[in-house]
Amino acid sequence: MCQPTGNPVTVLRYSSMFILTQRTLVQSISQLRLFTSAHSQIRIRWSDGEDRALAEAFEKYGNDWKAIAKHLPGRAVKGCKFRGLYGKSLDTGTPRNVHLHWTEAEDKLLREKIAESGGRCTVSIAKQIPNRKYKQVYDRWQRLQLNGDIKYGPWLSEETNRLVEAIQKHGVHDWEAVSKKVRTRTKFQCLQKYITTNPLIKQGKWSPAEDSALIDALNSYPGKWIAIASEVSKKTGGLRTNSQCRHRYINVLDPKLIKTPFSKEEDQALIDAFHRFGNEWTMIAQVMPTYRGARACKLRLQNLEQKGLIQKTPNPP
């Protein structure tokens, strides 16, 4: 578990921001919920017709996912967004360039094409960026829009100090203001850093008591991961986040999970999905023909790599 280090003044300042009630902590981490409702629903595969309808609606409405969802009966807004960004609906038909960093020339071309389109990042724009899929183009444009100074990877000590000062000033609810104070990190990076370095949040292996409490809470609050996390924390005395609870269930405790050895057909489907999505394990699990968890898919792929059956390449930056 991470502990604050440094001189006594810094330690005192860093520790003071964690003196929060359990309820406040659970409320603050709720901002990390991305596509929770889409994941918690029963997995119903998208038909080719739905994919075509999604692509047509996207060309018309752009990133207005609410408008897009109205053209797909039975599909939620978050489900449409997840399918659009991670599924095959918006596939540009170009090979996935999974190992090359974006070059200055690519960034320049992307900016030019976006400007020509009136500021919208569409599938048509992505098709004009050689060897890039729409998801890559969309993510890159989001990063370029955010701030040219946004960093990724390990935090520097001065960034952590700015985070402490920002939280002391703005609290743990206005992460937009915190991010502006930190300058080099997004609001979600700031929130994630706060959670992962919070000594009150339990990390590591789950106990049988926690697993039991998680199952009981899920039966009482199906799909409501914030409430589930709160119940687990109350019953066990150790704070777990909604994300931890959700990942524990869908990767380990879900009774529908298949835990038998992977078949040859599953291995091939896994390899195909990896070549398409890289290290996006949640998406890979979503497109598997059988009910496998993201963690199981990752471990199996590592096993295939060790056997020399696949060569892993890193995700694009």
Fold equal for 208-253 and 264-306? yes
Quote the pLDDT of residue 36: 39
For 88-105, how does the pLDDT look when each residue is reduced to its tens digit (9 = 90+)?
555 545 444 444 567 777
149 confidence band (pLDDT: 50, 70, 90)? low
* CATH for the stretch 208-253: 1.10.10
Question: Is pLDDT of 1 > 70?
Answer: no
User: Mean pLDDT over all residues of the chain?
Assistant: 76
- Model confidence, pTM: 0.43
Dihedral over Cα of 75, 77, 78, 84: its sign:
positive
Domain ranges of the chain: 8-32+150-196, 33-90, 208-253, 264-306
For 31-45, how does the pLDDT look when each residue is reduced to its tens digit (9 = 90+)?
444 333 434 444 567
DSSP 8-state code for residue 309: S
33-90 CATH fold: Arc Repressor Mutant, subunit A (1.10.10)
Quote the pLDDT of residue 207: 94
Among 293, 268, 276, residue whose Cα is nearest residue 98: 276
201 forms beta bridges with 239
70 forms beta bridges with none
Dihedral over Cα of 15, 20, 27, 175: its sign:
negative
Q: Tell the burial category of 298 from Cβ atoms under 10 Å away from its Cβ (0-12, 13-18, 19+).
A: middle
Q: Which of 6-10, 95-99, 106-110 has the lowest mean pLDDT?
A: 95-99
Q: Which residue has the higher pLDDT, 17 or 286?
A: 286
Query: What is the rounded distance in angstroms from the CA atom of residue 222 to the CA atom of residue 78?
Result: 18
239 forms beta bridges with 201
For 162-195, how does the pLDDT look when each residue is reduced to its tens digit (9 = 90+)?
998 998 888 867 888 888 899 888 777 887 788 7
For 203-248, how does the pLDDT look when each residue is reduced to its tens digit (9 = 90+)?
889 999 999 999 999 999 988 888 898 899 889 988 888 878 988 9
239 three-class SS: strand
**Percentage of residues in the chain having pLDDT higher than 90:** 14
148 confidence band (pLDDT: 50, 70, 90)? low
Greatest mean pLDDT range, 40-49, 142-151, 194-203, 232-241: 232-241
Q: Which residue has the higher pLDDT, 1 or 309?
A: 309
Quote the pLDDT of residue 263: 93
* CATH for the stretch 264-306: 1.10.10
